[in-house]
């Protein structure tokens, strides 16, 4: 079996079986793929002559051209037949989005699913699904989830998810938060293609720098393959995993959801450590980790500097640094002297110029200066910068205050992006949703991740350091 | 010493000492208080004749009328003098926003602060600050932080914060997230009024249902008062606390920040449990807890029902339920039968009608029906409802899709707000920032808290149950 899955992400031609132009399941997928005009699409429908202005075929076998990929949207009871017809037609891959299989917990539907699984194994035709929304590729713009990719930003994170609805949300979420990604793959009930296959494919995908995975469990019999392949790939690219089913009740729910066995969580924990897989607690952490790993260098050590506009949040950050077992950097005398020289004559309110460096409500100039000094300090391995700015300070001018602050934050992040290129830096902001989005897009523009919670920012650095230690030992 | 601090929140007349009409520190405060037109304001400025169109006085003692409250915005070196003059004038309270005192770590400034502290004790004039932004009252619209309260929503949560900048952010954050509050009090270096005073005042404040506190430590000598008063108030109103300085390094930072001793964290942990104070891990959790406690009844037991549109997130929620020591409710046969009857004929994809009830991408009708049945089940003590809706489903219509979805979610939350009035229900949503804000404002409109992370939603219920158990034992 080949690990080349590229026809799923950039297919030469696609049959949409169950294509539809009425607003029901399948509509968004059909509409996007036909309207985008980027792919050779053949709609297949048992009755209709045309779909959204394009000639429709009664059967995939009626298509006069070669078909590389079948996208199956028909009701569950017709899926087996169209899979067989697609294989007769000579497709390389099939994506089955239709649901109603083993996840119902019913015998008949599970057997049907097993039949399809066997067909994939016997013929070598690769099948994704059922019960998923297939794939999204922001570079090629191929997308079977129904999302509109016209405004999606490209990036170097690829995401493997299980369920359909989650696959869509990932795309919405990334777009809404202004950050880019590369591919999203939803696997559903995994009759054939599973996480291991996709991870192996992404191993050599040049556009993927970080692999983020939502894992519901490894199927029995696949443990060795899982261990071998992930252990090999994790040495090249960070693999970050949210693993559900930590608890017994969670395991039972996972079993009924996609029919995979959640397994003993402690075993997974140990396994992940052994093979260098980074474990995230939840989806927010998964994305935060992925953002930071994709954008920033790994830290060389455990000494964290904190620069803050709020003393209170600085202290809470120190607590978290201590909790996760990192160290607060001790700034060199030289750095402190420089900071004092610059700050004291001007700001008699400067509260503390040790670490955390609490610069109070200072403007971007002292902020930029402080960050430069701190990042140049050889006693510092990483920086968490806490920006807490009340909305009122943006309202001094009568001109559009939002566009002024957008410009200001862009200039600011552009400058600080130049300092300490070999040290990870994270901005953490606590502000109104509006101001948070302003800071976030400024950060994204210059590859400085903006993480809402300072605790989460510290955990990102901890995860990076752990990964670095793993690499140092194992490569 | 009186515990009536009402003149800080609804003063009959206010002198702004250091009032200014140029964009520097003090401008926003002066501008808001004068422009709002709701209070009798006397600007005081050593040189200017008028400030923002209002007559200015050289000295607070020159004001021909009675002054109940002084708001002090002058530089640190002039603070002592204007405090003494204010007392001569006969004010009841003073808010000092000026910074540069003990938080600098310098001897001279600390001594100056101690002098002011002694004056308060000797005269009985209550002083808030220095190094803060004073108070905000959304009902009376009195606000010394410079925030504009014209659009702020009223609510029944009062917040006690330490630092100025944080006080402002709390207001921005609440407004941006569409939820209301009552008072925000920032205490700064606490020369006189401290958390204990404010908690005692809020004990009988009818508009305060929940007290949220950011605590940097209790001053030596105040331990017994802290214990007695909080233990009394917590039996009437939930007190939720973020306590910093958990770690040694955090403690040291706290010491330099506002000069209070952070103390041994384990001691605090034990104390909080003993006196019924609810501890939150960070600010996000503080606000989430506060929202849920303010809006929802306490659960009677530990059995949680989960209704979800995403199987994966349902499973992660189960994991969290197990992790925090709650139980997944076992739905009665009657409930399951009703759900099956309603759902099966219509949705052959229904995955699991046990708990979590995974209704997949169903519309509001099945959702509403399911919530009603589940909340009526006597085996259920609380509900977490997970809404994961891709943006695309909102785009079916050509009309303004956002306003349609706003209406839809409002109708939906209005309906479900009627079910299970004696059981807490929380909506958890994972969606684009846009859709999250739509769901959040719909929830807020009918007092159903919308919490972004499902794990956090479970922790809210856990905190409520702990509090209920405390009340059962201690009242």
- Shared domain for B378 and B264, answered yes or no, is no
In three-state secondary structure terms, A164 is helix
Nearest alpha carbon to residue B123 among B77, B88, B78, B96: B88
Nearest alpha carbon to residue A147 among B431, B453, B316, B427: B431
- Shared domain for B278 and B373, answered yes or no, is no
pLDDT band, very low/low/confident/very high, at A262 (cuts 50, 70, 90): very low
At B401 the pLDDT is 65
Question: Do the chains contact at B388 and A148, CB–CB below 8 Å?
Answer: no
Chain B nearest-CA distance from A248, in A, is 8
- Distance separating alpha carbons of residues A357 and A374, to the nearest angstrom: 9
Mutate to test the interface with B, among A165, A308, A354, A387 (most CBs of B within 10 A): A165
Nearest alpha carbon to residue B419 among B238, B296, B260: B296
Counting the structural domains of chain A, the total is 2
Q: Which of A292, A307, A334 is the last residue of a domain?
A: A292
- Shared domain for B285 and B231, answered yes or no, is yes
A395-425 pLDDT, tens per residue? 555 556 677 778 888 888 999 999 999 999 9
Q: How many CB pairs under 8 A join A and B?
A: 260
- Distance separating alpha carbons of residues B46 and B50, to the nearest angstrom: 11
Residue B162 lies in a domain: yes
Q: Which domain range does residue B206 map to? A: 6-292
Question: Do the chains contact at A257 and B351, CB–CB below 8 Å?
Answer: yes
Contact B42, B51 (CB under 8 A): no
Q: What is the mean pLDDT of chain A?
A: 87
Candidate from B161, B314, B431 with C-beta closest to A253 = B314
Contact B419, B248 (CB under 8 A): no
pLDDT band, very low/low/confident/very high, at A233 (cuts 50, 70, 90): very high
Q: Which of B292, B321, B351 is the last residue of a domain?
A: B292
Q: Which residue has the tokens 């075993």?
A: A267
Residue B81 has pLDDT above 80, yes or no: yes
- CB neighbours of A407 closer than 8 A, spacing ≥ 6? none
- Distance separating alpha carbons of residues B289 and B424, to the nearest angstrom: 12
Residue A1 lies in a domain: no
Percent of chain B with pLDDT over 70: 90
State pTM to two decimals: 0.87
In three-state secondary structure terms, B70 is strand
A334-367 pLDDT, tens per residue? 988 888 888 754 443 334 447 788 877 667 788 8
Output the CA angle A453-B141-B171, nearest 5 degrees.
5
B432-474 pLDDT, tens per residue? 777 888 898 899 889 999 998 899 999 999 999 999 999 999 9
- Shared domain for B286 and B332, answered yes or no, is no
At B358 the pLDDT is 81
Residue A36 has pLDDT above 70, yes or no: yes
B259 vs A24, more confident: A24
Question: Do the chains contact at A432 and B169, CB–CB below 8 Å?
Answer: yes
Residue B214 lies in a domain: yes
Nearest alpha carbon to residue B162 among B187, B143, B130, B135: B187
Question: Do the chains contact at B165 and A309, CB–CB below 8 Å?
Answer: yes
Residue A66 has pLDDT above 50, yes or no: yes
- Shared domain for B42 and B135, answered yes or no, is yes
Residue A349 lies in a domain: yes
Candidate from B148, B315, B430 with C-beta closest to A257 = B315
Residue A205 has pLDDT above 90, yes or no: yes
Residue A102 has pLDDT above 60, yes or no: yes
Chain A nearest-CA distance from B63, in A, is 30
Q: What is the mean pLDDT of chain B?
A: 87
At B344 the pLDDT is 54
ipTM, interface predicted TM-score of the complex: 0.81
Residue B1 lies in a domain: no
- Shared domain for B281 and B389, answered yes or no, is no
B177 vs A447, more confident: A447
At B158 the pLDDT is 96
Residue A473 neighbours by CB distance under 10 Å: 8
Question: Do the chains contact at A257 and B352, CB–CB below 8 Å?
Answer: yes
Residue A257 has pLDDT above 80, yes or no: no
At B152 the pLDDT is 83
Residue A141 has pLDDT above 90, yes or no: yes
- Shared domain for A278 and A218, answered yes or no, is yes
B359 vs A262, more confident: B359
Candidate from A166, A310, A349 with C-beta closest to B310 = A166
Q: Which of B248, B274, B292 is the last residue of a domain?
A: B292
Residue B212 has pLDDT above 90, yes or no: yes
Question: Do the chains contact at B283 and A177, CB–CB below 8 Å?
Answer: no
- Distance separating alpha carbons of residues A372 and A419, to the nearest angstrom: 6
pLDDT band, very low/low/confident/very high, at B75 (cuts 50, 70, 90): very high
What is the helix (H) or strand (E) element at residue B160, kind and residue range?
Answer: strand B157-161
Candidate from B162, B257, B318 with C-beta closest to A352 = B257
Nearest alpha carbon to residue B17 among B40, B41, B44: B44
A211 vs A318, more confident: A211
Give mean pLDDT, residues A143-153: 85
Residue B311 lies in a domain: yes
Contact A181, A159 (CB under 8 A): yes
Contact A131, A101 (CB under 8 A): yes
- Shared domain for B286 and B301, answered yes or no, is no
At A399 the pLDDT is 59
- Shared domain for A201 and A321, answered yes or no, is no
User: CA nearest B350 in A: which residue?
Assistant: A104
Nearest alpha carbon to residue B246 among A455, A326, A319, A325: A319
Question: Do the chains contact at A166 and B351, CB–CB below 8 Å?
Answer: no
- Shared domain for A332 and A448, answered yes or no, is yes
Residue B268 has pLDDT above 80, yes or no: yes
Candidate from B27, B169, B257 with C-beta closest to A388 = B169
At B342 the pLDDT is 80
- Shared domain for A321 and A242, answered yes or no, is no
Residue A168 has pLDDT above 90, yes or no: no
Residue B416 lies in a domain: yes
Sheet arrangement for strand B126-128: B41-44, B14-17, B69-72, B93-96, B126-128
In three-state secondary structure terms, A267 is helix
Residue B136 has pLDDT above 90, yes or no: yes
Least confident of A163-167, A306-310, B333-337, B345-349: B345-349
DSSP A21: S
In three-state secondary structure terms, B38 is coil
Nearest alpha carbon to residue B69 among B229, B193, B166: B193
Q: Which residues of B184-195 are buried (b: 16+ CB within 10 A; e: fewer)?
A: bbbbbbbbbbbb
User: CA nearest A311 in B: which residue?
Assistant: B257
- Distance separating alpha carbons of residues A43 and A29, to the nearest angstrom: 11
A183 vs B435, more confident: A183
A19 vs A322, more confident: A19
Name, of A10-19, A96-105, A219-228, the range with top average pLDDT: A10-19
- Distance separating alpha carbons of residues B181 and B1, to the nearest angstrom: 28
Give mean pLDDT, residues B305-317: 87
At B253 the pLDDT is 61
B4-62 pLDDT, tens per residue? 899 999 999 999 999 999 878 889 899 999 999 999 999 999 999 999 999 999 999 99
Contact A186, A135 (CB under 8 A): yes
B146 vs B86, more confident: B86
Residue B161 to residues B129, B133, B165, B243, B369: CA-CA distances in angstroms?
A: 11, 10, 10, 11, 42
pLDDT band, very low/low/confident/very high, at B313 (cuts 50, 70, 90): confident
Residue B339 neighbours by CB distance under 10 Å: 22
Least confident of A145-159, B80-94, B132-146, B375-389: A145-159
At B216 the pLDDT is 79
Is the torsion defined by CA of B185, B190, B195, B200 positive or negative?
Answer: negative
pLDDT band, very low/low/confident/very high, at B96 (cuts 50, 70, 90): very high
Contact B257, A352 (CB under 8 A): yes
Residue A421 lies in a domain: yes
pLDDT band, very low/low/confident/very high, at A147 (cuts 50, 70, 90): confident
Q: Which residues of B touch A245 (CB under 8 A)?
A: 315, 319
Mutate to test the interface with A, among B79, B150, B312, B456 (most CBs of A within 10 A): B312
Residue B385 has pLDDT above 90, yes or no: yes
- Shared domain for A250 and A304, answered yes or no, is no
Phi and psi based region of residue A416 (left: phi greater than 0; alpha: psi -120 to 50; beta: remaining): alpha
Question: Do the chains contact at A390 and B147, CB–CB below 8 Å?
Answer: yes
Residue A261 has pLDDT above 50, yes or no: no
At B175 the pLDDT is 76
At A223 the pLDDT is 87
pLDDT band, very low/low/confident/very high, at B280 (cuts 50, 70, 90): very high
Output the CA angle B464-B467-B471, nearest 5 degrees.
135
User: CA nearest B29 in A: which residue?
Assistant: A392
At A394 the pLDDT is 61
pLDDT band, very low/low/confident/very high, at B117 (cuts 50, 70, 90): very high
- C-alpha neighbours within 13 Å on the C-beta side of residue A54: 23
A375-398 pLDDT, tens per residue? 999 999 999 999 887 776 665 555
- Output the domain CATH number for residue A160: 3.40.50.261
Least confident of A26-35, A237-246, B255-264, B270-279: B255-264
């Amino acid at each position: 079996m080949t690990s080349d899955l590229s026809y799923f992400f950039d297919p030469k031609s696609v049959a949409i079986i169950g294509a539809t132009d009425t607003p029901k399941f399948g509509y968004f997928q059909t509409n996007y793929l036909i309207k985008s005009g980027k792919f050779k699409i053949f709609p297949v429908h048992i009755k209709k002559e045309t779909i959204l202005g394009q000639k429709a075929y009664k059967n995939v076998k009626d298509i006069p051209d070669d078909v590389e990929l079948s996208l199956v949207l028909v009701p569950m009871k017709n899926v087996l037949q169209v899979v067989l017809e697609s294989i007769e037609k000579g497709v390389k891959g099939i994506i089955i989005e239709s649901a109603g299989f083993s996840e119902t917990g019913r015998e008949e539907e599970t057997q049907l699913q097993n039949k399809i699984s066997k067909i994939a194994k016997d013929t070598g035709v690769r099948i994704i699904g059922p019960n998923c929304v297939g794939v999204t590729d922001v570079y090629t713009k191929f997308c079977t989830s129904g999302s509109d990719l016209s405004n999606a930003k490209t990036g170097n994170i690829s995401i493997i998810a299980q369920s359909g609805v989650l696959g869509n949300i990932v795309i919405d979420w990334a777009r809404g938060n202004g950050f880019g990604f590369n591919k999203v793959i939803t696997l559903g009930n995994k009759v054939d293609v599973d996480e291991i296959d996709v991870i192996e494919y992404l191993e050599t995908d040049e556009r993927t720098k970080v692999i983020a995975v939502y894992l519901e469990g490894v199927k029995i019999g696949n443990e060795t393959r899982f261990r071998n392949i992930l252990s090999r790939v994790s040495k090249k690219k960070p693999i970050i995993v949210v693993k559900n089913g930590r608890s017994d009740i969670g395991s039972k729910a996972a079993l009924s959801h996609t029919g995979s066995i959640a397994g003993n969580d402690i075993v997974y924990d140990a396994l992940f450590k052994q093979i260098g897989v980074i474990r995230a607690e939840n989806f927010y952490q998964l994305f935060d980790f992925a953002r930071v790993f994709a954008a920033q260098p790994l830290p060389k050590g455990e000494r964290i500097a904190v620069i803050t506009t709020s003393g209170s949040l600085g202290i809470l950050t120190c607590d978290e640094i201590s909790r996760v077992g990192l160290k607060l950097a001790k700034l060199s005398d030289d750095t402190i002297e420089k900071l004092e020289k610059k700050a004291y004559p001007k700001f008699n309110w400067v509260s503390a110029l040790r670490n955390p460096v609490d610069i109070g409500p200072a403007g971007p100039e002292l902020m930029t200066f402080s960050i430069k000094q701190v990042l140049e300090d050889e006693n510092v391995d990483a920086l968490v910068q806490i920006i807490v700015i009340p909305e009122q300070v943006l309202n001094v001018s009568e001109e559009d205050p939002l566009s002024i602050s957008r410009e200001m934050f862009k200039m600011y992040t552009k400058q600080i992006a130049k300092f300490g290129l070999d040290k990870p830096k994270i901005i953490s902001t606590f502000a109104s949703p509006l101001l948070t989005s302003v800071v976030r897009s400024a950060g994204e523009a210059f590859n400085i991740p903006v993480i809402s919670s300072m605790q989460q920012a510290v955990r990102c650095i901890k995860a990076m350091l752990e990964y670095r230690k793993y690499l140092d030992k194992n490569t």
